[in-house]
Amino acid sequence: MSFTAAVCVFTLAAFQAPLLSYALRFSDLHTVEGWVQILSLQVLQFCLFAALVGILATIALWLMKTVVAVLFIVNAVALYFMLTYGIEIDRTMVGNILNTDQRETAELLHVSLLPYVLFLGIIPAVVVLAIKVQAPKRIWRLALALGAIGVLAAWSIVTSFTMLWYDRHASRMGSKILPWSYVVNVARHFNRVAMDNREQVLLPDAYFVTAPSAPKDVVVLVIGEAARADRFSALGYARETNPFTARYDLAVFPAGLACSTNTISSTACILTHEGRHASARTVFEPLPNYLKRQGIATIFRSNNSGPPPIDVDLYQNRADILEACAAAPCPEGGSDALLNWQLGDLIEQAQSARVFVTLHQTGSHGPAYYSKYPKEFEYFTPVCDTVQVSRCSQEALDNAYDNTIRYTDSLIADLIAQLDALSDVNAALIYVSDHGQSLGENGFYLHGAPNAIAPKAQREVPFFVWMSEGFAQARNLTPQSILRQETHPHDFPFHSVMGAFGLRSEIYKPEFDIFNNYEQ
């Protein structure tokens, strides 16, 4: 009993700062109800953890101690990231964490994590494992667990007048309660993964209503990462972040809302005919797979993670491209320049009159913004050169982030130059970001906030298009003629790519085809 009380009290004392910080903003401590709301959070956490300890102790004491020790360490790591980056550990964030590759994980690690892990995780875990617990018979251990649940139920009935407050803030507080935020949401995440791994549903066969407008028609879809619309000078930002593409006649659409604030969900939206109505677990085949089945040559290059299952003619990730260019001058490090490397040659080698290319950038993924561009692209200075972005000045953080946007702009300009240099090719390039990024506004950093409370910096994304002269003339289009008053950045790509190739099927939506000259 005393052991259970001790670990529950320690959990309350050590790991509820994010929860209390949020709850105190919405509780009026000048009233009895406000105090009851905060006290109820303590009762909830104490009873839930006591019930868990009791159930595990009923099975075996060694199991109970091991689980408690592990939870302390994981809680310490979670607390660090919640306090440092203002994140919330909901199902979306768990998916982001589990799909973060080794390179991105390394960028998040910092020496300041060590005190959290050592003093709130490892040392308490060692104490838990070393202490000798004199436990009553199993029936009493089970009684402890049931008693904790009973106390919580009784308290909930007595304080039922606070239920509306809990209902209003449940999702936000649930993502801040350790360890339950990650325990529950890990289970929810793997349930979604199981759904994702179901066999893909093939889309209806399509047909071409037009022949290729040149010996080779090419469409390149560039999926940016964490590029917020309000940092593009092409969209009115005061800083010159788009100097490289400024020489080209682009169709720059008004900023539009991403369907989500995480890469997995947003990439699924971009690559499916469902668009914003798609869930991250959509079972319909994605755009590259669909086009390949229609005889279009498909190339997918990725410097990121999180795409749906891809079946294309040529798939290359960062390691594949580095291996391919080992004998030739390679772009620096793991920058997105890898995606551009000899792309024109791949297009020319494609054995089809229609070629579709998807490039999935690492873009402006944080918090190590300073590492996303070569040193010569450090245009705005000084820069935040640490992953502890909350400790940087706002100026330095903005500079580092804006440099990533400027570097992406240079890569888009390079892609356009490569496409424009190809002979006997009519080409179009579509750029859209998967989601935006928070840079400290209202305490938010990075991305992944639930849509209901996500700031517009995480939702508003750029969408722009370049068309070669031959592509535009063949379709009687101009950059101005394809612009829309309202932008649906994650609805447009699937149907616009179909339209660019003259492809039709029952799932084609002309209203989302920017290349379609229909009556608007």
- What pLDDT, in 10s, does the model give residues 415-432? 999 999 999 999 999 999
Residues 125, 122: Cα–Cα separation, whole Å: 5
CB 356 within 8 A of CB 376: no
Phi, psi of 329 (to 5 degrees): -60, 120
CB 424 within 8 A of CB 355: no
- Opening angle at CA 76, ends 75 and 78, nearest 5: 65
Give the lowest-confidence range in 172-176, 185-189, 215-219, 263-267.
185-189
- Per residue in 279-317, pLDDT (tens digit) is 766 788 999 999 999 999 999 999 987 677 889 999 999
- The predicted pLDDT at position 82 comes to 86
- Opening angle at CA 330, ends 324 and 336, nearest 5: 95
**Longest Cα separation, the chain:** 84
Q: For residue 238, what pLDDT band results from cuts at 50, 70 and 90? A: very high
- The predicted pLDDT at position 149 comes to 92
Tokens of 276: 């914003």
- Per residue in 102-161, pLDDT (tens digit) is 666 666 677 888 998 999 999 999 999 998 888 788 888 889 889 999 998 998 888 877
The secondary structure of residue 201, as a DSSP letter, is: B
Span 20-32, mean pLDDT?
87
Residue 520 has pLDDT above 50, yes or no: no
> Is the model more confident about 231 or about 388?
231
- The predicted pLDDT at position 282 comes to 78
Tokens of 243: 């100097």
Give the lowest-confidence range in 171-180, 186-195, 258-267, 344-353.
186-195
Phi, psi of 431 (to 5 degrees): -115, 130
Q: For residue 198, what pLDDT band results from cuts at 50, 70 and 90? A: low
Residues 36, 40: Cα–Cα separation, whole Å: 6
Residue 196 has pLDDT above 60, yes or no: no
Tokens of 146: 């049931």
| Average pLDDT across the chain, whole number | 89
Residue in 428, 422, 424 with CA at minimum distance from that of residue 502: 428
Amino acid letter for position 232: F
- The predicted pLDDT at position 413 comes to 98
User: Please, which residues have CB within 8 angstroms of residue 124's CB and are 6 or more apart in sequence?
Assistant: 10, 14, 69, 72
Residue 326 has pLDDT above 50, yes or no: yes
Give the β-pairing of 354-360 and 314-317.
unpaired
Span 58-86, mean pLDDT?
90
The secondary structure of residue 274, as a DSSP letter, is: T
Using a pLDDT cut of 90, give the percent of the chain over it: 58
Q: For residue 519, what pLDDT band results from cuts at 50, 70 and 90? A: very low
- pTM, 2 dp: 0.73
Residues 281, 238: Cα–Cα separation, whole Å: 39
> Is the model more confident about 100 or about 196?
100
> Is the model more confident about 170 or about 369?
369
Q: For residue 101, what pLDDT band results from cuts at 50, 70 and 90? A: low
User: Please, which residues have CB within 8 angstroms of residue 187's CB and are 6 or more apart in sequence?
Assistant: none
Q: For residue 256, what pLDDT band results from cuts at 50, 70 and 90? A: very high
Q: Is 485 helix (H, G, I), strand (E, B) or coil?
A: coil
CB burial readout 195-230, b (16+ within 10 A) else e: ebeeebeebeebeeeeebbbebbbbbbbbbbbbbbe
Span 210-224, mean pLDDT?
96
Alpha carbons within 13 angstroms on the beta-carbon side of residue 497 total 32
> Is the model more confident about 276 or about 425?
425
The secondary structure of residue 329, as a DSSP letter, is: P
Residue spans of beta strands (DSSP E) within 225-294 = 251-252, 256-257
Span 159-183, mean pLDDT?
78
- Per residue in 365-386, pLDDT (tens digit) is 988 899 999 999 999 999 999 8
